[in-house]
Structure 1
């Protein structure tokens, strides 16, 4: 099974509920079950976009925003989510972006133009896939990257408007 980037929009109150459930549970199960409409599977698209931006020496702040959007911030007291019911344990446990940080990321993502980021993406599908670190990619990656970047922008925009936190993890 391939690793994919996962995101979930949750309220701070939901995190408190999950923390309490984990404390009550004999095995630390946090009863993690955010609504499907508040979760997003980004596959590995944003990793490829970051890879491409690094190779093209895109301005560092944009890369930092992209990276932060999928890796969260350090701390955040979400260690209780380090549980098999939340993620598969292959990579580091979930990380969180608090509502204020979500608003920052949403603003910065909204200011980005993915077409500008991909301006120098090669026309040849094999060269374009290689430029994104996608070996064996089927087709040209432009549409895949644009679609997933739009999903990321929209996801953060909604989270910001609703005053929610965002959890990030690989599964």
Structure 2
């Protein structure tokens, strides 16, 4: 099974309920089950976009913003989500972005000019896949894949910011 980047947007109250469930449950189950419409699987796309940005010398602020959007902030009080009900335990436990951070990220993602960011992505699908770390088996148009997943990420954060939600990020 391949690892993918997962995100969930949830109300702060939902996290409070999950924390209470974990404390009350014999197996520390947080009863984690955000609605499917509030979850986003970016696959490997954002990792590939980050790799391309680092290689191409993109603005460090853009790299930091993209990394934060998929990695969360350190120190969030979500240790109760370190449970196999939430993720497979292969990578780091889930991390939290509070509503203020979510709004900052949404604003930052809105400011990114993706055409400029991808201007020097190789036109050859094989070369573009290699630059993004997708390997020789990637099938499809890398640019389209990155654009689609970036737009999904941006829309995801816009929705979370509008609703005052948190975002939980993890690899599964």
- TM-score, length basis structure 2: 0.98
CA distance in structure 2 between the partners assigned to 1:109 and 1:140 by the alignment: 22
CA distance in structure 2 between the partners assigned to 1:81 and 1:128 by the alignment: 36
Residue 143 of structure 1: aligned partner? 144
1:7-58 deviations in Å (ceiling 9; x for gaps) = 0000110000000000000010000000110000100100000000000010
CA distance in structure 2 between the partners assigned to 1:65 and 1:55 by the alignment: 16
CA distance in structure 2 between the partners assigned to 1:83 and 1:63 by the alignment: 29
- Count of residues paired in the alignment: 171
Matches within 5 A, 1:102-141: 102-135=102-135, 136-141=137-142
CA distance in structure 1 between the partners assigned to 2:157 and 2:140 by the alignment: 28
Structure 1: state its 5+ residue gaps: none
Residue 42 of structure 1: aligned partner? 42
Which has the higher mean CA deviation after the structures are superposed, 131-140 or 58-67?
131-140
Residue 8 of structure 2: aligned partner? 8
CA distance in structure 1 between the partners assigned to 2:133 and 2:36 by the alignment: 29
Structure 2: state its 5+ residue gaps: none
Shift of 1:115: 1.3
Preserved contact between residue 126 and residue 140 of structure 1 (Cα < 8 Å): no
CA distance in structure 1 between the partners assigned to 2:77 and 2:88 by the alignment: 19
Residue 152 of structure 1: aligned partner? 153
CA distance in structure 2 between the partners assigned to 1:51 and 1:6 by the alignment: 18
Runs of 4+ in 1 over 6 A off after TM superposition: none
CA distance in structure 2 between the partners assigned to 1:38 and 1:140 by the alignment: 27
Aligned with 1:42: secondary structure? strand
CA distance in structure 2 between the partners assigned to 1:100 and 1:167 by the alignment: 13
Aligned with 1:168: secondary structure? strand
Preserved contact between residue 72 and residue 95 of structure 1 (Cα < 8 Å): yes
Instruction: Provide the alpha-carbon RMSD of the alignment.
Output: 0.6
CA distance in structure 2 between the partners assigned to 1:142 and 1:19 by the alignment: 40
